[in-house]
């Protein structure tokens, strides 16, 4: 086994804890992490870092799956605590989150960059001390009309959206595995051309 294959990954899905938030657009990250936990064959358990975690192997690689329980705007504390606890460097911390600036039906992988006003990312960047960590961006689109984005993200996916939601969650989980095994460029080349939505936001 090579050193690289022995190194653990940390995958953090962003969302808000509690059943009242479970179907929200803002909880897309939690939805993807539930799918990954099913693939690992584990159940989330409380961790002292203020997160629920599953430890196991994903794509034959050691991984910790995490759902911070601190509410979205304070996600950085638990993610940093887990990275320290498991000795995972930021370049192996994959954050899965909802993204307003990408249309629903599109998924994007990237490393680094800004937070686009996403408070969960803002908190993680501050806590890790770097923005250079990989992300899976789950497109939710912009709110209709003059709706406040803060209201929009805390609403459940619409009925029409829910039809494709399981497919998109599954595909986002595939992207996490691809990032771990094939790297960023290969993941972008494989997945960015396969949107449900024909609109193509920038990579």
Assessment of whether the complete model's pTM goes beyond 0.85: yes
pLDDT value at 195 more than 90: no
Choice among 26, 47, 97, 118 that is catalytic: 26
Residue 202's pLDDT is 45
Dihedrals phi, psi of 65, to nearest 5 degrees: -100, 135
Q: Cα dihedral angle (18, 19, 25, 27), rounded to 10 degrees?
A: 40
Q: Output DSSP code: residue 173.
A: H
pLDDT digits 0-9 by tens, 79-132: 999 999 999 999 999 999 999 999 999 999 999 998 888 999 999 999 999 999
Do residues 125 and 114 make contact, with C-beta atoms less than 8 angstroms apart?
no
Distance (Å) of CA 34 to CA 4, 41, 84, 175: 26, 10, 23, 14
Instruction: Respond yes or no: is residue 26 known to be catalytic.
Output: yes
pLDDT digits 0-9 by tens, 14-66: 999 999 999 999 999 999 999 999 999 999 999 999 999 999 999 999 999 99
Residue 29's pLDDT is 98
């Amino acid at each position: 086994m090579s050193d690289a294959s022995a190194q653990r990954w940390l995958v953090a899905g962003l969302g808000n804890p509690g059943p009242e938030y479970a179907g929200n657009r803002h909880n897309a990250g939690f939805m993807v992490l539930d799918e990954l936990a099913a693939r690992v064959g584990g159940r989330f358990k409380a961790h002292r870092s203020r997160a629920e975690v599953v430890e196991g192997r994903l794509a034959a690689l050691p991984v910790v799956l995490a759902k911070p329980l601190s509410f979205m705007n304070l996600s950085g504390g638990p993610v940093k605590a887990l990275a320290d606890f498991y000795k995972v460097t930021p370049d192996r911390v994959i954050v899965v989150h909802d993204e307003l600036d990408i249309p629903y039906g599109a998924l994007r992988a990237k490393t680094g960059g800004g937070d686009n006003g996403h408070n969960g990312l803002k908190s993680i960047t501050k806590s890790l001390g770097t923005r250079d960590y990989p992300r899976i961006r789950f497109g939710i689109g912009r709110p209709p009309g003059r709706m406040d984005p803060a209201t929009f993200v805390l609403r459940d996916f619409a009925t029409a959206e829910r039809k494709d939601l399981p497919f998109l969650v599954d595909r986002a989980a595939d992207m996490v595995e691809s990032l771990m095994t094939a790297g960023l460029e290969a993941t972008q080349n494989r997945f960015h051309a396969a949107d449900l939505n024909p609109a193509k936001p920038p990579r």
